[in-house]
Amino acid sequence: MITIIDYGSGNLKSISNGFARIGREVRISRDKEELEESEALVLPGVGAFGTAMEHLHGYQEVIHQHIHNGKPFLGICLGLQVLFTSSQESPGVKGLNVFPGEVIRFPPFIREEGLKIPHMGWNNLQIKRECPILEGVSSDFMYFVHSFYVKPQDDKIVAASVNYGIEVPCIVFKDNVFATQFHPEKSGEKGLLILKNFLKKVDSY
């Protein structure tokens, strides 16, 4: 069973509906035993980094153990950002540190180029390296809503980026952990294809 973690900071219905559209039943749960027994975990997220980490306090060990066990994991939007070490949005708050690096603000100069903050709307991917969830996906447009972006210590984990005045990493992955800055469930057929590709990893686990 694939479980969406209900930790109080996620758009649960949206991602659940995304999986339903591709014919896969998923469970929404905050029960730790159900999370521990899940084949795969999905961590969505909306709102502030600090609030999300506060809500995740009781789930950090479950998440780390799931990843350590090699089970597939998918983070979406803020669910990507909390996988990193820290964020300028919430100084002093520690992230999950699955990926060393920082979440940083968009630089003010991009406004001078006519770009708005938050980054909201459709942008096309720039593929950086092969990634299992990108099978059949190329420079397709995905839907974004965010004011901060990730800066990994290791650029090799970046599978795709977008140009929004600067280069913005938007898919990161390593081993069994995948994460997108955009919302695949809101990104049309190609976004749903990314979810289908994630299911392939789950089914092959």
Residues belonging to the active site: 77, 183, 185
Of the candidates 1, 176, 171, which has an alpha carbon nearest to the alpha carbon of residue 72?
176
List the strands of the sheet with 99-105, edge to edge.
84-87, 99-105, 148-152
| Cβ 113 vs Cβ 84: under 8 Å | no
Q: How far apart are CA 77 and CA 92, in angstroms?
A: 21
Long-range contacts of 122-127 (CB under 8 A, 24+ apart): 123/162, 123/163, 123/164, 123/170, 123/182, 124/162, 125/160, 125/161, 125/162, 125/170, 125/171, 126/160, 126/161, 126/162, 126/163, 126/167, 127/159, 127/160
| Cβ 44 vs Cβ 10: under 8 Å | yes
Of the candidates 104, 67, 78, which has an alpha carbon nearest to the alpha carbon of residue 7?
78
